[in-house]
Every structure is written in structure tokens, then in C-alpha cells.
Amino acid sequence: MKYISLFSGAMGLDLGLEMAGFEAGVCVENDKEAVSTVRYNRPSLPIFDCSIEDVSGDELKKAAKFGRSRVPLVAGGPPCQAFSVFGNRLGIEDARGQLVFEFLRIVEEAKPATFLMENVRGLLSMSITPNKKELLDDRRIPREFFEKGSLLNRIFEEFNSIGYHVDCFVVNSVNYGAPQIRERILLIGNRFGYSVEFPKPLYSNRQEDKLPPFKTLGEAISPEAGFIDPCPEIMDFSPRKLRYLSMVPEGGNWRSLPVEIQKESMGGSWYLKGGRSAYWRKLSYAFPSPTVVTMPNHAGTSMCHPKELRAITVGEAAAIQEFPSDWAFQGTTTAKFRQVGNAVPTRLGRVAGEVIMSLLKKIESEGKAKIPKCGHTITHLRPHVRTRTFWKDGESFAGDKCYYGKEHSERQLELI
């Protein structure tokens, strides 16, 4: 079943949708290295290598050869940096933030039966207008524009105004079998008045849930799991960073260092509040991977290999995101890491695709809902997952202590 892919990137979301039975009919992506990746791996796929602002819904339908057929799905993830809690939180004041409304425009023009829009969790709390003093002092700006969550509410309202009911799911890829802790929000909309449900978590690190244990990093990239690195390119740490990381045990972070070395290595960051658990972080085969980042060799977002004194490779990062081993990323090493780190885990694409495929079958057989809905829901499906404890009651741990206590730690270590 063909669909329209927007903000396609390296096609992580699309590969997941393929697993659910969809086929990209056309895509839009303006990052030149990502475009090269799409063209290399999907040479026959029509691609608009320009800003989405320069493309219309009719052009996309024509390129995908929909003819008079209804478009079943428009899917994509508008660039999320402006919404991320790690970014500057400029929201729609930032040009990247405005692209979410370009996604909405394409939906309005193409009139698909359904849409899938994914983004970072930070969008949940984003305000329409940033809480900056010069803006707060401007009485012309409605006060509700500064409220947390006002941007997402505006997005809901805009979709509702063009006839789409929207169900928003706050999820974590590790709950569905990915070897990675990665929170995302998924907006699934349809113009037939149905409300949909997303599967409850299928894996857990809590014994009381009576579910299979989380997949671990070791199951994804260890030699024992049969992993063969398809792209051993690396953005490695500097000699200075490697010196500090050499003192950190597998699974540990800056908490594992002597206090004086902590202060020396972290500088002013040592005095900040918060866990800062990614500083001088060394991964562990016994636990799921933390969220794959675009710059794994930074001190504050360190992704050091569990057994070797180096950053993880492009191929290892891609395996954590569950890209197929034969998916060849194009561009510089930096560009490849950017594509992998910005991608949606293929696992989430597949699960969301299965939900949408079931919805489309229902629409095909039953038409419009008997009691149509046109509003929104927000459902949290255990999105915030903690697996390890690095510091508790004044005691430092080497990242091998499970957040849920001793019996869970022993169970996790049995999986190594």
C-alpha cells in the first residue's frame, strides 16, 4: 500500500512502515546526504530533494501515481530540534518549528485517510511563544501562548479544523523490543472519525509486569550475538577524553571517577544540578542502549563501547536503531551519524504501521465511524523508562545496579 513520506531522512520510519505492509510512493527530504542515502538504497523511489515549502500535495500525489485513488497515509517527522528539551526551545519562532505546519498543509492538500506524525517528547510541553522576557512584556501576545503544551494543542486544533481526529501516544521504543531507550510521541490522525489504540508495552524490566525482559545492547551488537559491523566508521573521542574514559568501568559514567578527576574532567558542569548520566558514559552489554545521538564522541553525550576504548561506530549505532544490515548510509562519517541519530527506530515505525494498517482495513470495510470523533487524546504508555542507578543515598554505582533493586540486577546480569 503506497503512501507519502515527508521529512524522510535516512528512512528509519519508512523502513518500519514497510515491515507493516506499506510502500513509500514518494518522499521529500532536503538534507543532501540523506537524499543520497535514499537514492542509493531506493533508486526507483521518486524524491523531492528540496524544502517541503516548495512542494504541493498535488505534486506528491502525481509523483506517486495515485491518480484518482485515495491517499491512505501521509507520514513523517518534522525536524524536532526546535522542540527538543535539549535545544533552545524557540518553538515556532524558530524556522524549523514552523515546518510542523507544512506537514499539516500537505495533509490538508493531499487529504489522506490517515496520517502519522512523530516527534520528540519535548513537543508535549512546548509553548507557542517562548517564555523570553522581551516577549512576556509584549501585551499584544495572548497569555495562553506562553502556557506549556499550547503548541501541541494548536496542532490538534489545526488538524481538527480540517476534519482529522488525532490520537497522540507517548511511547518508548524499548517497550516494544528495540534494544534502545528512546522516547517519542506519535500522532495518528484519520478523517473517518475513529479513535485508535496503540499496543501496550510488550517488554519490561519489572518482574511484576510478567513480560519478556528488555532487549539489551549485547543482543544487538556483541560478537556473541553474531553481530558483524557493516560500517565500522567512527567519530572517536579525543586523547583527553579517552584518558578519562579509560578509568570508567563498563556501564559506568562520571560517577565512577574519583571526585578530583570528576572536577578536572567536567569543569563547571560538575557543579550543575541533575544526574548528567551521559557524561563520560561507557555503555553496557547487560542493559538496553541509551538513546542513540548524532555526536557519540561528546563528553556530555558519550557513547563509549562497552569493551573497547572508543566511541561506537556508524554500523553499531544503526544496529541499535535496527536498520537492516545492508542499508548503506551515504556521505561523510559525520553525516552518517547525523542520519542515524535523527532517525526514528524502525521498530516504532513497524508497530505504528500495524496500527494504521488495521485502521485502514476498518475504514475500507465500514466507511465512516457510526459516531464520528473529531478531537484528540493523549495516552502515555510507560514512556519514561529507567534501568540503571548511578547514584543513590550518597553512594556511587558503576552502572551495573538495576533501578528496581537487587533481584532485578541479578536477573539483568544473567542476560550478559
In Å, how far from its chain's centre is CA 182?
6
Set of cell numbers at residue 223: 560478537
Name the 3-class secondary structure at 157.
Answer: helix
* Partners of 213 in beta bridges: 204
Q: Cα(220)–Cα(226) distance, rounded to whole angstroms?
A: 9
Q: Cα(244)–Cα(49) distance, rounded to whole angstroms?
A: 42
Vertex 34 angle, CA 29 and 36, to 5°: 105
Contact 196, 355 (CB under 8 A): yes
* Partners of 396 in beta bridges: 391
Q: Where are the alpha helices (DSSP H) in 162-288?
A: 217-221, 239-245, 259-266
Q: Cα(179)–Cα(173) distance, rounded to whole angstroms?
A: 8
Name the 3-class secondary structure at 342.
Answer: helix
One-letter amino acid at 378 equals I
User: 27, 80, 231, 304: which one is catalytic?
Assistant: 80
Set of cell numbers at residue 60: 506528491
* Beta strand 395-402 pairing with 376-380: unpaired
Q: What is the DSSP letter of 351?
A: H
* Residue found by looking up cell 513509500 in the block: 24
Set of cell numbers at residue 414: 544473567
E strands, 64-220, are 73-76, 114-119, 165-172, 183-190
Q: Cα(80)–Cα(87) distance, rounded to whole angstroms?
A: 9
Catalytic residue check, 80: yes
Residue closest to 3 by CA, chosen among 31, 39, 34, 28: 28
**Catalytic positions, please?**
80
